[in-house]
Amino acid sequence: MKRRLIKNNLLKTDQLKSTLIKKMALKIKNRGVLTPIFSYCFVLGWILFLGQMVGCGAKKKDPAAYSNQLITLMNQNEAEIAAMNTAMGATDYAKAETVRINWQQQLEAAIKSAHATGDYNGDNALQLAVISSLTAYQTIITGPYKSLIALRSKADTGTTTKQQALLLGINQGFTAAGNAVNLAIEAFQKRYAP
């Protein structure tokens, strides 16, 4: 029975579009030489507008599913962090560089996915926080982490202070990015918790 209701609503929507198109075409008829081009664009615009209006009402996002989708993009970094720590702890800097490159590619894909996720019914605060944090991770991976791996692979004891400064910056950057997302999640939950 539910299928019939949906089918009938779709038919009514199509009939509504068809009726509106006919009414607009009659009103626009015989207004001059440019009228056919204008009417076509005008009618096409209304068709697209009505299609979006019908589509918007039919698909509303679930706040939990939306936030989980974005948070999953952030949590994917945990595996990369663990792999990087393992490689660096074992002083396998060739492996660390491989992990870094793979991580960089994963971050590029995650940023694209976060952009594609879109906003939550007009609210893009959580999306922007995740994109910003993923971009911060990417900056760390392409800059300080790359430098740290290069310094450690040279086994130069004279660079210990520089290595420590890089590590401190990396850790502070990861912490700041994580905190920004945590604050955005808390605010999102406060706004949309049932």
What pLDDT does 36 receive? 41
Measure the CA–CA gap between 2 and 14, rounded to whole angstroms: 19
Instruction: For residues 42 and 127, state if they share a domain.
Output: no
What pLDDT does 157 receive? 73
Instruction: For residues 40 and 132, state if they share a domain.
Output: no
Q: With contact defined as beta carbons under 8 Å apart, do 20 and 30 qualify?
A: no
Residues of the chain with pLDDT below 50 are: 1-58
What pLDDT does 160 receive? 86
Instruction: For residues 46 and 8, state if they share a domain.
Output: yes
Instruction: For residues 89 and 12, state if they share a domain.
Output: no
Instruction: For residues 7 and 54, state if they share a domain.
Output: yes
Instruction: For residues 47 and 140, state if they share a domain.
Output: no
pTM: 0.68
What pLDDT does 60 receive? 72
Instruction: For residues 12 and 80, state if they share a domain.
Output: no
Instruction: For residues 20 and 87, state if they share a domain.
Output: no
Provide the residue range defining the domain that includes 6: 2-58
What pLDDT does 101 receive? 97
What pLDDT does 156 receive? 75
What separation in angstroms does the CA of 40 have from each of 29, 35, 60, 93?
11, 8, 31, 63
What pLDDT does 59 receive? 57
Measure the CA–CA gap between 11 and 124, rounded to whole angstroms: 34
Q: With contact defined as beta carbons under 8 Å apart, do 126 and 120 qualify?
A: yes
Instruction: For residues 16 and 67, state if they share a domain.
Output: no
Q: Dump pLDDT digits (tens) for 1-14.
A: 333 333 333 334 44
Q: With contact defined as beta carbons under 8 Å apart, do 174 and 67 qualify?
A: no
Count: domains in the chain: 2
What pLDDT does 46 receive? 38
Q: Dump pLDDT digits (tens) for 59-80.
A: 578 999 999 999 999 999 999 9
